[in-house]
Structure 1
Amino acid sequence: MMKYVDTKVVFSELPNEITLAINISGCPCACHGCHSSYLAGDIGVPLTYEELSRLIQANRGITAVSFMGGDANPAEINRLAHWVKTQTHLLTGWYSGRSQLSSDIELSNFNFIKLGPYIDELGPLNSPTTNQRMYEVVISREVDENNNPIYALNDITACFKKSV
């Protein structure tokens, strides 16, 4: 069971979107300097389909839902993102503190994925020296053996960089 602690409507987590950011607890990453270190604890409310639906309904006007964390259970993040993609008109995103995408993630369930642990001396996603990467999920021109589209990650980190 995945729990969330709080939510915020934000304007800069996903490019050009009004995003409901859902802060997931139980983070195993323990990034030094993390601004949300309280999310490491097993705290909050279970994030069920019903609760997710309530959160979306309570935040009319959003264009996307982003799961902030959830690295302890990527399969559950994938399941919730699939629900958002199939039951709403909203885009989906996931902020993972891991360097590599989990094999439990199906790219077709996401529009955006951020990968990379927070490293204090390298800075956040908008820093010129960041190690983190933001990807847009795109459909490649290729198909698999069953004629299904193949999804790929397009690095869009540059759109977050502060101009100097």
Structure 2
Amino acid sequence: MERKSIPVTLEQSKLLASALRMQIMNLIAETPRTAKQVADLLKKTPGNIHYHMQRLFDADLLELVDTRTVGGVVEKYYRSRGTLFEAQTLAEDAFPYSEQVLEDRKRVAARLKLSDGEAKEFLAEFHQLLNKYDMRDVSGDEYVINMFIGRLKEDEE
């Protein structure tokens, strides 16, 4: 499945500032699942996952794709609307941090000369790297990665 980015509001980006919610979004990107199925995969309680999925659904980040009644229980199957997001505005407080990892630097910046094809390849590889780390089954501290990529105007080079 090609991963394309979708625009999100500031409120939606705040909801997505959680590693657990991003794991949920990735788990149901291609295969619709219930909160119970997601909870089993993530080894979390169904109530906890249901809460997070309901918040994502209320924010229009998940879509309800199927409802089934099994043994008198209604099962709701959700799919994420995307796994990559473009926030028009990022609030610094949406991503609170306690310490910097990279030698006390708050920002890392680079300017690269890339063809359009190389820029697309760079983004694809970056997204693969994020997905690799996002879907691991580990415990630990939560870190934020905030990246902006834009083409400079000729007079700014």
Q: Same fold (TM over 0.5)?
A: no
Which structure: larger Rg?
A: 2
Structure-2-length-normalised TM-score: 0.25
| Higher RCO (Cα < 8 Å, 6 or more apart) | 2
In the superposition, the TM-score normalised over structure 1's length comes to: 0.25
Structure ranking higher in helix proportion: 2
